[in-house]
Structure 1
Amino acid sequence: MRDVPQAYDFDRTTEAVRARIADMRSSRRPRWLVPALLCALAVLAARPTETPGRSPARGGADPGVSAEVARLYEDAAATTRQYEQGRRQVQAHRARAQRLDAHLDRERRQLAALHEDLGRIARAQYRSGGDVPLTARMLLADNPEELLRRQHAVSKADLAVNNAISRSRRAQAKLAADEGKAAAEWKALERRNAELAALKRDIERKLEEARRRLQAEADSSAASGTCRGAVRLHQRDVSRKRGWVAPVKTYQLSARFGSGGARWANRHTGQDFAVPIGTPVRSVGGGRVVKVSCGGAFGIQIVIAHPGGYYTQYAHLASVAVDQGARVAPGQWIGQSGTTGNSTGPHLHFEVRVTPELGSGVDPVPWLAARGVHL
């Protein structure tokens, strides 16, 4: 555990100064020394004190790689959201282009049917003497009036077919233009997604490098048994009115409470969350930090006391973001996950206890479920 500076003892200092003044009076020291000592006492009284368990005004560890990892996590999350939004837009445009294609196919089939009808009309005209002028056919016809009626009907059919063909061609041209526009938008979105994917890969590469540096610093602290001190990680939207939360946002559950294994002396005493190094770790509820320590089987760890007599432990961390004695809100970042101590890979070891010490654990999964957090 990090050494905590002791508060300045004003009362003891005051008594010492008074005793010194009395001694000077009895020894008949020069009179000008008394006002000088009183001034010094006033200066000491005005000196600000440091509260045990909290960092000095300019204290705390240099954020360095811890803050860089936290920032890269946020950047990667933002880029992923943009990438997924772009993918949804591409899918929407692809669906629209497919609907346009289907509509265009229907128009083409209708156009082919109209062309077939026009062919039948032309063939009928040819068989009925369509190549003979209408005047000559009227003179040769047994019933000229009937011939005129048939000719009028044929003319109306021709006009309807021609109008339908014109409409179909206009519709075909419009659909082709719409299809071309949709295809152009689709290609632009694909290019944007490719750019976002490249940006995401670059952030992930930088994040992986920063994770290695963060874990190296954590291993050094755990080996020496001396924590580097709290690294202040900027976090938005933390409210003390918030309810209970999971200790990490995105995770896979691994070793469960009570499970056996060669790595534990008896049974597993908590619930493990498989997460990458540097993942922000949150306090599951409001409370007070009662322990921050490094070294040992749990590596870098934090223990928080909650109302109702329960304690939660967060172990194998790579860094801490709170001081011993600090108050924390539900969901507040208290550290970053790692693989310090007796750990075979990056994960968060989370315990719920009825005392601050090992051996009083309860199953965290139903405990959290009873508080509305279902893992």
Structure 2
Amino acid sequence: MGSPRRHPLLVPALMCALAVLAARATAADGESGDGPGAETGAGDMSVSAQVARLYEDAAVATRQYEAGRQQAEVQRARAQRAEELLDRERREIAVLHEDLGRIARAQYRDGGGLPMAAQIVLASSPDELMRGQHVFSQVNLAVGNALDKSRRAEVRLTADKTKAATAWRTLESRSTQLAAVKNTIQSKLDEVRGQLQGQADVSVAAGACRGAVRLDQPPTQVTGAWVTPVETYELSAGFGSGGARWANRHTGQDFAVPIGTPVRAAGSGRVVKVSCGGAFGIEIVLEHPGGYYTQYAHLAAVTVDQGERVAAGQWIGQSGTSGNSTGPHLHFEVRVTPELGSAVDPVPWLAARGVPVG
């Protein structure tokens, strides 16, 4: 990023982005998941869409902050480089001053303090006289040029320091505004996450799914045939782990993510199961070419219907903590059949397909 002079539209753009985010967060306060269509899934759609949109707003706010921070860092680095260059020029000038003084003292000792007529008479040769005068004049000129260069560098340094200080003051001001917007977004996000999970718990208790929630997914950046089931995560319980929550051993890999995180199809395939009851809570099972199946469990909502075909990276649900779950996460399994009991370790399975997990 460049200086404010080269990017005059950045500050207005930041202000516009802040205004848009604040307006969207406020508008979200006025929406409700309860309405005439709640029994048919329209309520789910409203809450799920709010969660997805608030995640997007939080990401936009973070990017805007990072843009301002990077600009300020560039300005500070520019001022630091200018100061280092100026220090080097000052040292060079000091050396030139020392050389000039040495020549002047030598000329004085050798008759340099005499009038020009006396120097001409006493000089051993015209060449000697001209050489002495030439050397003195050249060093004197070099010192003068260096001083001019130093003064210009001082002016540049002052300007760069001013720009850097302005950039940091602007960043601090924008950060304060942005923090307020982000807090509003986070507060609303926490609220609608609770609503989303509440609706999921109702579905699980009833043992009946409320239908697919259709979300507007942004263009995917998927380039390979396989992806991780969530984009950002922390790994929790792994395949084969022991614990009181499982009858035998843990049959999948858990990805710790907040409620409402978009869950992606690990690869292209067909939805062979959507279930909303039992230990896995709300779950989806996909069938992939080659005879493998993937399971996505403890969801808060699903965005696909049974029998539907999906692409790698497509949103198929939103994470939650439904069923036998102690906290928000995605339980991900790879199976050789669509049923429980045929699981293989999903981490090396994904790694073999070019998707390292870790």
TM-score interval w.r.t. the shorter chain? 0.7 to 0.9
From the superposition, tell whether residues 119 and 363 of structure 1 become closer, same or farther in structure 2 (CA, over 3 Å).
same
The structure-2 alpha-carbon separation of the partners of 1:223 and 1:188, relative to structure 1 and needing over 3 Å to count, comes to same
Q: CA deviation at 1:106?
A: 1.0
Q: 2:42 maps to what in 1? A: 61
How far apart in 1 are the matches of 2:223 and 2:135? 82
Distance change >3 Å, CA 158–CA 146, structure 1 → 2 = farther
What corresponds to 1:272 in structure 2?
A: 254
Q: What SS class does the counterpart of residue 82 from structure 2 fall into? A: helix
Distance 1:335 1:159, change over 3 A: closer
Cα separation, 2, equivalents of 1:111 and 1:251: 57
Corresponding residue number in structure 1 for 2:240:
258
Residues 288 and 305 of structure 1 are in contact (CA less than 8 Å); yes or no, is this contact kept in structure 2?
A: yes
CA distance, structure 2, for counterparts of residue 282 and residue 142 of structure 1: 97
Q: Deviations over 1:238-288 (max 9, x none)?
A: 699961221111112211122211110111111111111110011212222
- Cα deviation for residue 231 of structure 1 reads 1.3
Distance 1:257 1:217 in 2: 29
Structure 2 length as normaliser, TM-score? Answer: 0.75
- 1: CA distance, partners of 2:81 / 2:170: 19
Give the letter aligned to residue 297 of structure 2: A
Aligned partner of 1:344 in structure 2 is 326
* Inter-partner Cα distance in structure 2 for 1:326 and 1:332: 12
Q: Residue type matched to 1:177 in 2? A: A
Inter-partner Cα distance in structure 2 for 1:144 and 1:236: 88
* Bigger Cα displacement from structure 2, 162-171 vs 341-350: 162-171
What is the SS of the residue equivalent to 1:265? coil
C-alpha distance in structure 1 between counterparts of 2:315 and 2:96, whole Å = 71
CA RMSD of aligned residues (A): 3.4
Q: Tell me, what secondary structure is at the counterpart of 1:334?
A: strand
- Looking at structure 1, the residues matched to 155 and 162 of structure 2 have their Cα atoms a distance apart, in angstroms, of 11
SS in 2 for 1:173: helix
2:129 matched to which residue of 1? 149
1:305 and 2:284 are equivalent in the alignment: no
Q: For 1:220, give the aligned amino acid.
A: V
Q: List gaps (5 residues or longer) in structure 2.
A: 1-38
| Distance (Å, rounded) in 2 between the aligned partners of 1:306 and 1:153 | 87
SS at match of 1:335: strand
Q: Does 1:226 align with 2:208?
A: yes
Structure 2 counterpart of 1:174, one-letter code: R
**Compared CA separation, residues 163 and 359, structure 1 to 2 (3 A):** closer
**Structure 1 residues not aligned, in runs of 5+:** 1-57
Other-structure match for 1:103: 85
Distance 1:178 1:95, change over 3 A: closer
1:338 CA drift (Å): 0.6
Tell me, yes or no, if structure 1 residue 359 matches structure 2 residue 341.
yes
Deviation, structure 1 residue 193: 5.0
Q: 1:166 to 1:350 in 2, by over 3 A?
A: closer
Distance in 2 (alpha carbons) for counterparts of 1:249 and 1:240: 11
Q: How does the TM-score come out when normalised to structure 1?
A: 0.72
Quick one: which amino acid aligns to residue 276 of structure 1?
P
Classify the secondary structure of the residue corresponding to 2:42.
coil
The amino acid across from 1:267 in the alignment is R
Q: Indicate the residue corresponding to 1:138 in structure 2.
A: 118
Q: CA separation in 2, counterparts of 1:317 and 1:226?
A: 14
**Higher gyration radius (CA):** 1
